[in-house]
Every structure is written in C-alpha cells, then in structure tokens.
Amino acid sequence: MRNLFIVSIFIFFLISCDNQNKLSTPNKNISSSDTMHLLFNKDSAWNYLLKQTSFGPRNPNSVGHQRCLTYLHNELKQSTKTQLFQFQQVGYNENLYLTNIFASFRPELKNRILLLAHWDTRPRSENDKIISKRSDPLIGANDGASGVAVLLEIARILKYNPPPIGIDILFVDGEDYGIKQDLEYYSLGAKHFAKNKPASYHPQYAILLDMVGDKDLQINTEINSMKFAPGLSKEVWRRAEQLKLSQFNPEPKYEIYDDHIVLNEYGIPTIDLIDFDYPYWHTTEDTPDKCSKESLDVVGKLILNIIFNPPPHI
C-alpha cells in the first residue's frame, strides 16, 4: 500500500510539473514501464518545433537547411552517438546536397525499433491560395518540424532512461522535394538509407511520424500501413485506445506515398502516423500557430509507451 501511495505521488508530481510548463530532467530511476509515457514534456517538444521553424524554410541547399542540420546534429549528440550520412542527388536543374541523421540508443542490442521523420521542408507551396506564393518555399511547422520535434524529445528522455530494446532515430532529408506525381524525386533520404544500410541492419519494425502537430489532430490508420504491416498498425492503435488517446481513429482513411513505402519495399515493416486532414498542407500557412503542443504530447506519449512496453510479436 505504501508503494502504491509513493507511485501515486510521483505521477501527480510529473503532471503538476507539466502543467506549470517547467522543463524537468527525466528521472532515470523510474521503474514502471506503464508510466514512462508520462515523462514526455510537451513544452520541450514545442520548443524543438519552434527552433526548427526559426531557421525559416529548410528545403535542400537553402541557408535554413544548413542551419537546421547543424542544430539537429548538435541536439542529438547530447543524447547519444549520432552519425551524419551525406549524399548528393541530381534534382530539377540543380545538384542537391542532402544529409540523413542517424542516432542509436543501446546499440549493443540486436532487437531494435526504428523511429523516423523527415526534417526537410518543401521548396514550393503549390497549394497556396495566393497564386504568387506558390513558388515560395514553406516553413513546414507541421510538415517537417512536428515529427522531428517529437523524436528529439524522445531522444532527450532516452538519454536518462535506457530503453529495454534498441532504439534508432532517423531524420531523413529530401522527402518533400519532388513535384506532384513525380515519385522519383520524393523520399530521397529514405531511398538512400534503404539502399545503403548495412546488410546486417534489420529492425523488427519502424514507425514514421509525419504531420503530427495539427491543432485538430486526427490520425487514422493509413491504408498502405495496413497493407504492409497490419499487425503493427493494429497494435499501435490498440495502445492508443488503451491510453485513451481519442485523436487516433482505427478506421482506414488515406492511401499515402511516404517514406514508409520505401522501407517496406526493402523489407522493414513500417507504418505511417500522419494526419492528412490538414488544410495548410503545402502552403505558406503551414506555420506554428496551426500546430499545438498538446498534439505533440499525444503522439510522444504513444511512442514512449511502445518503446518501454515493446510488443513481443508483430
């Protein structure tokens, strides 16, 4: 009974700190895997999103792209060993200089989960309601910064709380470069990673975070995810229901070409967590005011629950 009382006080303390918008150092002595998701700090994640967008557009070859790369590398290095994988790609009348960022937690473990998000932003805003802005690069608060923000916060937590399974975090570049329908120029970083990864590297599964910051967050099961990794999709949505995360809807809705298609084609079962009902997609209005820390919190808590309670079979 005394132990239950202590755990209750601890959980109350975590929630109180979060409500007071204080950034606390994760407690490495937490032992219950069922409460680890409470360590996710939405204010910290939100600051990661704002920092990325402060660099402006982060499309390949831009000044913002280079500044953000330096920032992301430095942030991840504070949590674990991090590698940069730089490569060139011929683009539309230009040579692209791209970089994937790869960080590993507990590299000695064979059983691993890969978490990924794209960190680049789109070089054009073809869906903008103002025609003169359609050739402008966009800020990408949701489509670019949100998934990265969640994973940066998770990396911060894993630094102090070693996971029970190997965790790899991959920030891929050049995901959103291509023009509409030209799939050859989409997912450039994911393609490079899949083609060049060591033959011995084969995580049990991967989870892609893309556009997870929308204020009105509604994440449906993605059709291709169910096709390639049905067991993983069902388990993730079961966890969301268990945690009472109403923003996750198990009803399949969209069939999307995203980085998860590439990884699935190379034999890594991968699902895409994406809210595609986002009216500011590929417009200059994809800015932080359209996102919320509460949405980042929901997704982060779900991923932490999976990390510290890894399903035995998918």
**What is the rounded CA–CA span in Å between residue 41 and residue 52?**
17
Domains and CATH numbers, the chain: 2-308 (3.40.630.10)
Q: What is the pLDDT of residues 158-188, one digit of tens each?
A: 999 999 999 999 999 999 999 998 999 999 9
**Do 272 and 252 meet the contact criterion of CB atoms below 8 Å apart?**
no
Instruction: Answer whether residue 2 shows pLDDT above 90.
Output: no
Instruction: Answer whether residue 4 shows pLDDT above 70.
Output: no
Mean pLDDT of 83-102: 97
Grouping H, G, I as helix, E, B as strand and the rest as coil, residue 300 is helix
In the numeric block, which tokens belong to residue 100?
Answer: 């994937």
Which residue in the block uniquely carries the two structure tokens 């923003």? 247
Q: What is the pLDDT of residues 202-237, one digit of tens each?
A: 999 999 999 999 999 999 999 999 999 999 999 999
Q: What is the pLDDT of residues 8-18, one digit of tens each?
A: 333 333 334 44
Grouping H, G, I as helix, E, B as strand and the rest as coil, residue 254 is coil
Mean pLDDT of 274-301: 98
**Do 182 and 124 meet the contact criterion of CB atoms below 8 Å apart?**
no
Instruction: Answer whether residue 104 shows pLDDT above 80.
Output: yes
CA dihedral 60, 61, 65, 71 (to 10 degrees): 120
Instruction: Answer whether residue 268 shows pLDDT above 70.
Output: yes
Instruction: Answer whether residue 248 shows pLDDT above 70.
Output: yes
Mean pLDDT of 287-313: 95
Instruction: Answer whether residue 247 shows pLDDT above 50.
Output: yes
